[in-house]
Structure 1
Amino acid sequence: MAHDSFPELLSLYMRRIRASASGVATEIGLSREAVNNWRNGMSAPNARSREKVVACTRYLRLTEAETNRLLSAAGFAPEFPLQAEVELPAAAPGMPAPAAVDAEQPFAAFQARLFAQLAQAMPYPISMLLSPAHWGQPPFRLELLQRARQQYGAASVLHIQPPYSVSTAPTEYFAAIGRQCGLGEVQSDYEFESALERRLLAGERLFCLVSRFEQGTPALRETLAGILRSLSEMHSGRLHLLLCGGEALADLKYRSGDMSLLNIAQVNHWPEPTLADLTLLARQRWPGQDWPQPVLAHLLDASGGHPALFEEGLQWLVEQGVNETQAGSAALRTHLAASPRLWQTFLPLAQEGASRERLRSLLQADDLGRARPYLQDDDLRRLFWGNLIHVRGTGDAARLHWRCATVRHAGLMVLDAPTP
């Protein structure tokens, strides 16, 4: 398959939302000339520009697959490994719904429970789906939308992704959301609410997936939340909401405490992958490759179920040999410990003296304390949402632990690396 051209892809995605070079430049912290040079192929992102490209994908409202594609074209690793690359088909008007979601899909049981919970939630069918770094927001978005189409009907499924830019005017914000929902050209929050309510008054039961709910300015986010809460109250049981995000969305619920839409939402966390989930992912990623269970069990242990590490481990095994010897080798663990994804999360914690010493102390501990719905400790919260620590156990026995020995080794490598 031909390699994508970064300038062509960037230009395509910018044209799609009519983004200017100056607008992109302002959002990602570069000059207009630098962005134009990227578009014209006069220069390309360097190794230190990955976060600029990631910020650009958010501003351009790219899907997980599109984000991976643009990063790959720029020579970077994907931001969302193991995500589907092809949009699942929706039913055409007048045609029967597509076949049921295959039970042999990763995390199928969790997704089924999530939708069953939403269908039974009364009086407010509103759920939050929180996921840490590298899973996507939400993970397996295409599969979630496909399942929603089967449960609610293709025409009744809406997908909102609020504009990323904090400089977006209210008219542009709701015009963009209106287009995403197929409501035509709306010019204000009132017109958006009215158009959505007309569908509910007609007797429709709507499902709305809101990706990255936390994006945009607080004022616009609160207006959108107020509209969705109001419509949910007035049309009980007809507007089903699934709000997806990560650390910022959790902050809005637990730290702000004044957004009523989030206060009444049921909270779900993306589950830890099982060996069965990772086996299905490996077979989807490399369908022509045989993946023996013992090999994947070794990789699960080495990666701790971290999606980016698992993806990197699969790639390494394909190159070095898919066998138990390689999967259980120290070479694989050394390779994973050098992952840029781990270093990017650890480095901010290793910048200052007090923070460095705290990190070193945490890395030496096997048990990091009790898991709670919201972590007040800034360092632990950053490590949790960075997908470096996770919860083991349930209820009062739930505790925080490092995801795996590989992650701890990477943290120590960061601390011991020479500083510039």
Structure 2
Amino acid sequence: MVGLSALNREAAMVKVSLTRMRQARCPEDSNGPVSFEVLAASAGTDATMNRQQFAELLSQHMRRIRASAADVAAEIGMSREAVNNWRNGDSIPGRRHRDRVLACARYLRLSEQETNVLLRAAGFEPEFPGDTERQEPDQAQSEPARSEVLAVFEQLQRLKPYPILMLLCPAHLGQPPERHAILVEAGRRFGRDRVLHLQPPYSLSPDTDRYFAALAAHCGLDGVNSDLEFETALSRRLREPAPLFCLVSRFEQAPPQHRDTLAGILRSLSEMHSGKLFLLICGGEGLASLKFEGGDLSLLNIAQTSRWPEPEAASLVGTLSAPGLDASACKTALAVSGAHPLLLAEAMRLLHEENDLSPSTLAARLEESDLLWTSFLPWLKHADGRQRLTALLNKDALGPVRPWLQDPDLRALYWSNLIVEQRTEAHTRVLVWRADLVRALGRRALHEANALTESGETPS
């Protein structure tokens, strides 16, 4: 792994470049908010610097796990030549290739902070909203928790006899969303020394002892060299009078044999110390699949399942994601974007820069973006996929809500965060498109994909 000092140097390099680019574009207001998309579009020397930084980071991470360009290309669906061009600094990922860079980060086993640094170097927004390098620690500690975070804790603390909550989060929310805010709120409720964050690492090694030694070291449990010692260390903490809070993220990314062992340990401790181990297990489609399709992990079977709450305007006012926006502007951004994370962030940026935008003008501006192109891409590549997507875009109600959707198209749309559940007047729950804007962007993507195929190209 790259040392912390090296990682901080990487982050600093990217920050310096972004600052220079911002000052070059806006010398009269170098402190003003500028999106990463705008920064990435800067030309000349700054663009060259950005390519070089991305190339250096990518090369370093590839060398760390001895990955070849062919390995990376096969994993992310790009050509070997394209990956070599990225690594050599000859080109940088295009605006529609954010998901490819994210897939590359996953394949290279990057941490959340390393992933954010790589995305920023390519000119994209970070994947993990809890990234603390964009705010001062004192500010993060004093900022009131958003209503979504409070709702999660209130639900968790009501659960008996096992306070275990499996929090499912669709795309573009982070795993988990508001990670830093969750840990800060946990510290307020349980005490900072009673909070652990378990992030099972990805590893191909079958050595269970080494795996749990690394997991323990990451969350601050000293002197652990095996799975048995890991369980003993947690049990020792649970024998203390105060309850213990554990945030578990990336659970589904752990190798099956280590994941099963960890699940067994946490289930056993939950039963031995009933009501004292508060578990918040966060993940996406992979975690949901383990519970609803696998069904052989007893820890997940006894966990209460919930979805990340939809954001509210009141919780956005005064936050770093909505600088200077009042409740009315936040409501407009939510209504137009359907609360899709990427569209919402762009809507708030536009409203911050031009606070007199009407909802219709805001929607028209957002329709010009390519933010959802990669989300629709799986349907755009083949004729039958485009036909299925066309039919779905013409429907207002897409079907009833189910814990695990059997229809592969609906399941993919749901975990891509393009559709959401809605309660009808008859008090039933159905799946609908997040917003008219999402449907408009889907139709635009279909139109462009059809034009590409007619010219003999494949959408990518």
After TM superposition, is the score higher than 0.5? yes
**Aligned equivalents of 1:38 and 1:262: distance in 2?**
40
Show the counterpart of 1:399. Answer: 430
TM-score normalised over the length of structure 1? 0.82
Any conservation in 1 of the 2:322–2:330 contact (CA below 8 Å)?
no
**Aligned equivalents of 1:369 and 1:57: distance in 2?**
34
**Aligned equivalents of 1:265 and 1:126: distance in 2?**
5
Among 415, 423, 427, the alignment partner of 1:385 is 415
The one-letter code matched in structure 1 to 2:288 is: A
Q: Is the counterpart of residue 328 in structure 1 residue 360 in structure 2? A: yes
Any conservation in 1 of the 2:397–2:431 contact (CA below 8 Å)?
yes
Q: Is the counterpart of residue 314 in structure 1 residue 314 in structure 2? A: no
Q: Is the counterpart of residue 359 in structure 1 residue 389 in structure 2? A: yes
Show the counterpart of 2:447. Answer: 416
Spell out, residue by residue over 1:114-158, the C-alpha distance to the aligned partner (whole angstroms, 9 max, x if none). 223323422211111111111111110101001111111111111
Among 98, 123, 129, the alignment partner of 1:75 is 123
**Aligned equivalents of 1:14 and 1:243: distance in 2?**
33
1:294/1:102 CA distance change after superposition, 3 Å: closer
Any conservation in 1 of the 2:62–2:68 contact (CA below 8 Å)?
no
Spell out, residue by residue over 1:55-94, the C-alpha distance to the aligned partner (whole angstroms, 9 max, x if none). 344444433x65333311122233346866457759xxxx
Q: Is the counterpart of residue 277 in structure 1 residue 311 in structure 2? A: no
1:228/1:13 CA distance change after superposition, 3 Å: farther
Show the counterpart of 2:23. Answer: none
How many angstroms does 1:240 deviate by?
Answer: 1.3
How many angstroms does 1:333 deviate by?
Answer: 2.4
Say which SS state the counterpart of residue 222 (structure 2) adopts.
coil
Any conservation in 1 of the 2:375–2:416 contact (CA below 8 Å)?
yes
How many angstroms does 1:165 deviate by?
Answer: 4.5
Show the counterpart of 1:46. Answer: 93
**Aligned equivalents of 1:6 and 1:194: distance in 2?**
48
**Aligned equivalents of 2:54 and 2:245: distance in 1?**
31
Any conservation in 2 of the 1:132–1:385 contact (CA below 8 Å)?
yes
Any conservation in 2 of the 1:149–1:157 contact (CA below 8 Å)?
yes
1:239/1:116 CA distance change after superposition, 3 Å: same
| Between 69-78 and 240-249, the greater mean CA deviation after superposition | 69-78
How many angstroms does 1:313 deviate by?
Answer: 1.9
How many angstroms does 1:214 deviate by?
Answer: 0.8
1:67/1:247 CA distance change after superposition, 3 Å: same
TM-score normalised over the length of structure 2? 0.75
Among 111, 122, 132, the alignment partner of 1:62 is 111
Gaps of 5+ in 2: 1-14, 19-49
Show the counterpart of 1:218. Answer: 256
How many angstroms does 1:6 deviate by?
Answer: 7.5
| Between 255-264 and 3-12, the greater mean CA deviation after superposition | 3-12
Say which SS state the counterpart of residue 281 (structure 2) adopts.
strand
1:169/1:415 CA distance change after superposition, 3 Å: farther
The one-letter code matched in structure 1 to 2:333 is: L
Show the counterpart of 1:371. Answer: 401
Any conservation in 2 of the 1:101–1:146 contact (CA below 8 Å)?
no
Give aligned-pair identity as a percent: 45
Spell out, residue by residue over 1:20-42, the C-alpha distance to the aligned partner (whole angstroms, 9 max, x if none). 14158797447999989977x75
Say which SS state the counterpart of residue 408 (structure 1) adopts.
helix
Say which SS state the counterpart of residue 242 (structure 1) adopts.
strand
Show the counterpart of 2:161. Answer: 123
Q: Is the counterpart of residue 302 in structure 1 residue 336 in structure 2? A: yes
| Between 344-353 and 49-58, the greater mean CA deviation after superposition | 49-58
Equivalent residue runs for 1:10-409 within 5 Å: 20-22=64-66, 28-29=72-73, 42-43=89-90, 45-47=92-94, 50-58=98-106, 59-63=108-112, 67-80=115-128, 85-86=133-134, 89=137, 102-103=143-144, 105-106=145-146, 108=147, 110-166=148-204, 169-203=207-241, 205-281=243-319, 284-285=320-321, 287=323, 289=324, 291-319=325-353, 321-325=354-358, 327-329=359-361, 332-393=362-423, 397-409=428-440
The one-letter code matched in structure 2 to 1:221 is: R
State the Cα RMSD in Å: 3.5
Any conservation in 2 of the 1:29–1:52 contact (CA below 8 Å)?
no
Spell out, residue by residue over 1:102-122, the C-alpha distance to the aligned partner (whole angstroms, 9 max, x if none). 54x43x2x4333223323422
